[in-house]
Amino acid sequence: MRAETAETYAHFLKLATNPQQYDGPVAWSDSRNRPPSIQRAVVRTLPIDMGDMYGRHVLDIGCGAGWLCDAFAKGGAIPVGVDPSAKLISLARKRFPTLDFRHTTFEAFQTSQTFDVIVCIMSIEHFADLQKLFRKIARLLSPGGTVIVMSAAYHRLPQSRKGCKLDIVPGTDYDLAIRINKGDHVMYNLLRTPERITEAAQWAGLAVQNHRTILAGEWPDFDPQTNDPHRPILDTFTFTLLPAGFAKKDPGECPQVLSEASHFHI
């Protein structure tokens, strides 16, 4: 393992999991102004019938500006949104004053209730410990409930983010730490392989119902002049609770297989 690579990975990891990352002025504006077409595409992509949500309790982990909670509420659900960004929670409360938004990290989130549906949409990239994340999700999930996770596709890089510079540091065989430099601001993410995500969920007591990879050609802003329609862009997962006693045992640390940081200019 190269010491400078390990140091860079640790630095990226720290920033990717910083709860205040989305309180930066430009990052906040970028998240706030996510086009409605993208919001509608995410809702359409969710492997759940939004017309059959009446009375269901929903937890949105990393709810941002609250638009997905609003979509669930319009379907008759009772959503709770959790996000560590003070600015985004403030915006969500202004936009949707009748909905329940909590300014806290998911790790610190406390509640006595359980939820019929738990969603983690493009937020898993900011959790360092997947097993800890899924264990808490499993505790909060009602019997017969559904967990939906959506993540940027591990195999989409380095072919993405036109106009950005991506610095990619492999952490293990299963994950990457990424710095996305958009010129006027920088963001940090963690990407895991689908196998790593599903295994972490199973170790926490969740059963994999479905895994689907969404291709660029299925997305609303797809440009055939600059993109391959068959390029993976998102992975979606659906989980339910395993029967008691069926969770996998913790396998311990994965072998650390690191290589030099890669630099791609897109």
pLDDT for residue 112 = 96
The residues facing 237 across adjacent strands are 149, 211
Phi then psi for residue 167, to 5 deg, are -105, 120
- Give the rounded distance of the alpha carbon of 250 from its chain centre: 22
231, 159 Cβ separation under 8 angstroms: yes
Kindly report the number of other CB atoms within 10 A of residue 266's CB atom: 13
Phi then psi for residue 148, to 5 deg, are -120, 125
Q: Helix, strand, coil shares of the chain as percentages rounded to 5?
A: 30, 30, 40
DSSP code string of 65-134 = TSHHHHHHHHTT-EEEEEES-HHHHHHHHHH-TTSEEEES-TTT---S--EEEEEEES-GGG-S-HHHHH
- How far apart, in Å, are the Cα atoms of 240 and each of 62, 119, 145, 191? 20, 12, 6, 22
Q: Taking the CA atoms of the chain, what radius of gyration do you get in angstroms?
A: 18
167, 182 Cβ separation under 8 angstroms: no
pLDDT for residue 249 = 55
Class of domain 18-154+192-245: alpha beta
- Chunked mean pLDDT (size 10), the chain, 266 residues: 75 90 68 68 83 94 94 96 94 96 97 97 94 97 96 69 75 83 81 94 94 83 73 90 68 37 32
Q: Strand, coil or helix: what is 35?
A: coil
